[in-house]
Structure 1
Amino acid sequence: MTGRRHRSLFATRLVNTTPEGEQPQVLGDLRRAMLDGDEPPGTPIPIDAVAAFFGVSQNPVREALKILIGEGLVQHTPHVGYRVAHLTFAEFRELYDVRQALESSALRSAVEHATPADDLALRDVHESLAEAVHAGDERAYHARSREFHMTLIAPARMARLQRMYESAWNITEPARPMARVSQPGRVAFHGEHDRMVEAFVARDAERLVAESATHYEHLRSAIEAFAGDPDVFVQP
């Protein structure tokens, strides 16, 4: 059994972002809770409690969960129920390999098509990431790290690739991997981000791809450190 301490907490940590008088945004709010890491891997999803929270019947909840299954964020076991996707470490690491391959493909195009406005956007998110690192804010670091990489490839204007990249990233988010990295580790990663920004602004595609490869090598080493944690990964 894994994640026992989370079993009765799913609905209690949800946030309803629906403006008053509008239909509940069940799908968006469920997805947001998982991507923010508020609902850890393996957390059971009680349909009745979620429906009661949003003030809807169980049908909209079931429909939302079907979509989230397709996105890889939710798993369903017949006669057992739904839960936040709980991966093996091998599956999790494979998603990092997928992300690296897609990012590497996008970076050269991003450099080719980048504008001064893209430089400014990247510097802004990098500065926000620096603030999270220096403050030791794990939650902010989790969010800003993702935003940094998304901003880095955005100038490529490769919509299909970006959707695949975002999908692969999303599946790893419930585990909040970057929030589990030590503070010295986050500082080291931020130094690598510094060098990636420098290469991007210099329009040095080869250097940027090389820096990205080094960064992913270190990311894989970092997640290896908690490969045996049953609250994160399905254990053999």
Structure 2
Amino acid sequence: MQGPRRRSVFASRLVSSAGDGEQPHVIEDLRLAILSGEEPPGTLIPIASVATFFGVSQIPVREALKVLTGEGLVEHRPHVGYAVAKLTFAEFRELYEVRAALETSALRAAVRSATETDDELVRSAHSAMAAAVARGDERGYHVESRRFHRALIAPAGMQRLLHMYDSAWNMTEPARPMSRVAEVDRALLHGDHNAMVAAFRARDADRLVAESAAHYEHLKTAIEVFRSDPDVFRQP
């Protein structure tokens, strides 16, 4: 089984969000660094270097890493240390199943509660995705795709569901899936988004749920392309 990468520039890419006079936001800033996708799954997180960056002892860094381990973003391996969590492809695909189930549960309630303000939030994210596709910006598309899906279900007001949805999405972020799928697949996925926008704005819940289901089937097909990549997934 392949272990975490032993050379890491993880600490050199950290950014502190703490203002002047504030205590370092160790957990929050580590989480953001992992979710950015700058360091791929399996990247070693050097505790001493991270502690030096934040100007703290190693104790709060270790505590932060334990929290992030509980969130599924970090893993600990004996005699190696902490690293960005590396899933198997089966685990990764399962998270897509979880997201699809949660999204389906929220969409009907979202349509019932949506306002013109929600329409604008959906439209804004969709337009940003279209711009990313036009300029060939895989990372931008990845970011705006998440904003789009979140905007569709936010009107449901189901906060516990939204928390679970965000957690499931977070665990797939280090792999940067939308940056890895083929360009033709991204175009197909964006076509799905077009249909979802139309159904949402028409307040057609049945159609929206059907379009969402088709979209997730296309997603699962698209991610098959890199299922055997050892830099992304832990091989069984």
Partner secondary structure for residue 83 of structure 1: strand
Q: 1:24 aligns to what?
A: 24
- Once the two structures are superposed, the pairs formed by residues 1-236 of structure 1 within 5 Å of their partners are 1=2, 4=5, 7-236=7-236
1:141 and 1:7 mapped to 2: Cα distance? 29
2:194 and 2:188 mapped to 1: Cα distance? 10
Displacement of 1:2: 5.8
2:21 and 2:187 mapped to 1: Cα distance? 45
Q: Residue type of the partner of 1:217? A: E
Is the Cα–Cα contact under 8 Å of residues 189 and 215 in structure 2 kept in the other structure? yes
Displacement of 1:150: 0.6
2:100 and 2:42 mapped to 1: Cα distance? 26
Is the Cα–Cα contact under 8 Å of residues 4 and 83 in structure 2 kept in the other structure? no
Question: C-alpha root-mean-square deviation of aligned residues, in Å?
Answer: 1.2
For structure 2, the 5+ residue unaligned runs are: none
CA gap 1:98/1:211 in 2 versus in 1, 3 angstroms = same
Is the Cα–Cα contact under 8 Å of residues 2 and 230 in structure 1 kept in the other structure? no
Is the Cα–Cα contact under 8 Å of residues 182 and 222 in structure 2 kept in the other structure? no
Is the Cα–Cα contact under 8 Å of residues 73 and 170 in structure 1 kept in the other structure? yes
Aligned-residue identity in percent: 66
Is the Cα–Cα contact under 8 Å of residues 121 and 151 in structure 1 kept in the other structure? yes
Is the Cα–Cα contact under 8 Å of residues 139 and 179 in structure 2 kept in the other structure? yes
Is the Cα–Cα contact under 8 Å of residues 3 and 231 in structure 1 kept in the other structure? no
Displacement of 1:183: 2.3
Displacement of 1:52: 0.7
Is the Cα–Cα contact under 8 Å of residues 65 and 74 in structure 1 kept in the other structure? yes
Displacement of 1:142: 1.3
Post-superposition Cα deviations, 1:110-165, rounded to whole Å, max 9, x if no partner, equal 00111111111110111111111111112211111111111110000000011001
Is the Cα–Cα contact under 8 Å of residues 107 and 153 in structure 2 kept in the other structure? yes
**Normalised by the size of structure 1, how large is the TM-score?**
0.96
| Number of residues of Structure 1 aligned to a counterpart in Structure 2 | 235
2:26 and 2:47 mapped to 1: Cα distance? 12
Runs of 4+ in 1 over 6 A off after TM superposition: none
Is the Cα–Cα contact under 8 Å of residues 107 and 209 in structure 1 kept in the other structure? yes
Displacement of 1:33: 1.1
1:61 and 1:39 mapped to 2: Cα distance? 18
CA gap 1:140/1:80 in 2 versus in 1, 3 angstroms = same
**Normalised by the size of structure 2, how large is the TM-score?**
0.96
Post-superposition Cα deviations, 1:156-207, rounded to whole Å, max 9, x if no partner, equal 0000011001100000000000111222222221111010000000000010
Is the Cα–Cα contact under 8 Å of residues 4 and 44 in structure 2 kept in the other structure? no
CA gap 1:75/1:2 in 2 versus in 1, 3 angstroms = closer
Partner secondary structure for residue 150 of structure 1: helix
